[in-house]
Amino acid sequence: MYSVKEAFYSLQGEGGQAGRASVFCRFSGCNLWSGREADRAAAACRFCDTDIRGTDGQHGGRFDGAEALADHLVALWPDAPGTATPQVIFTGGEPLLQLDESLIDAMHERGFDVAVETNGTLPAPPGIDWLCVSPKGETALAQTSGDELKLVYPQSDAPPERFTTLDFHHFFLQPMDTTAVGGGDVTADTVAYCLSHPQWRLSLQTHKITGID
């Protein structure tokens, strides 16, 4: 049984695949925060910008098996001309609490590339086409390789220097959206860090800038 908060069709807003049309599958629940505001200050991850509880979002629900969920997600891809390879982005919540090989296989059988957004605390199953790891505070990484490491910046307990030698193809710094935690705009600080540490590239949350989701 898979629990899905919401599923929707949009453009990948962040990281090295920004701009690519994708079906998003947002799994419910996370191992670093309950999703309750009352628990935020004591959580291992305290700046989450997402509602991760329940299954009541658009196209959310509980799905009995990989085939049923895969069919549900494929139906969100438009019947459109062209040769683009469809992509599903499994996110959450923490997708690696639920994503398994049978769901990855079911999406591949339907012609989709499989991308994942994870906090890196759980090992990833094989077969993922684009793995994005986004470390959180002091949490230990179980997943130390992948396509991109996308660090939300700044985190006093997760400085970029800790991650520079890990086995990733791309290193992104993404300014923290401080709306939920009551802070200012940290974009200029993030730009300054990238300018002085060129290993890191800037990732903006373009879906928020454009207002697409």
Ligand X SMILES: C[S@@+](CC[C@H](N)C(=O)[O-])C[C@H]1O[C@@H](n2cnc3c(N)ncnc32)[C@H](O)[C@@H]1O
Binding residues: 11-13, 26, 30, 45, 47-50, 91, 93, 134-136, 174-177
Q: Is 50 in the site for ligand 2KA (CB under 6 A)?
A: yes
- CB closer to ligand X out of 107 and 134: 134
Q: Which of ligand X, ligand 2KA, ligand SF4, none binds 68 (CB below 5-8 Å, type-dependent)?
A: none
Active site residue 207: yes
Judged by beta carbon distances under 5 to 8 A according to partner kind, the member of ligand 2KA, ligand SF4, ligand X, none in contact with residue 150 is ligand X
Residue 33 interacting partner from ligand 2KA, ligand SF4, ligand X, none (CB closer than 5 to 8 Å by kind): ligand SF4
Strands 2-11 and 21-27: antiparallel
Least gap, CB of 32 to ligand X (angstroms)? 7
Cβ proximity to ligand 2KA: between 10 and 34 the closer is 10
Give the integer Cα–Cα distance in Å for 195 and 72. Answer: 43
Neighbouring C-alpha atoms within 13 Å toward the C-beta of 148: 23
Considering only residues 188 through 207, tell me which ones interact with ligand 2KA, judged by CB under 6 A: 207
Catalytic residue among 6, 14, 27, 48: 48
Find the catalytic residue in 14, 25, 27, 30.
30
Q: Which of 6, 14, 117, 148 is catalytic?
A: 117
Contact string 3-32 vs ligand SF4 (x = CB under 6 A): ---------------------------x-x
End-to-end CA distance of the chain: 27
With CB under 6 A as the contact rule, the residue among 6, 13, 93, 118 that binds ligand 2KA is 13
187 near ligand X, rule: CB under 6 A: no
Pick the stretch among 42-50, 96-104, 173-181, 193-201 that binds ligand SF4 (CB under 6 A).
42-50
- φ/ψ (deg, to 5) at 5: -65, -50
Q: Which residues are catalytic?
A: 24, 30, 45, 48-50, 117, 207
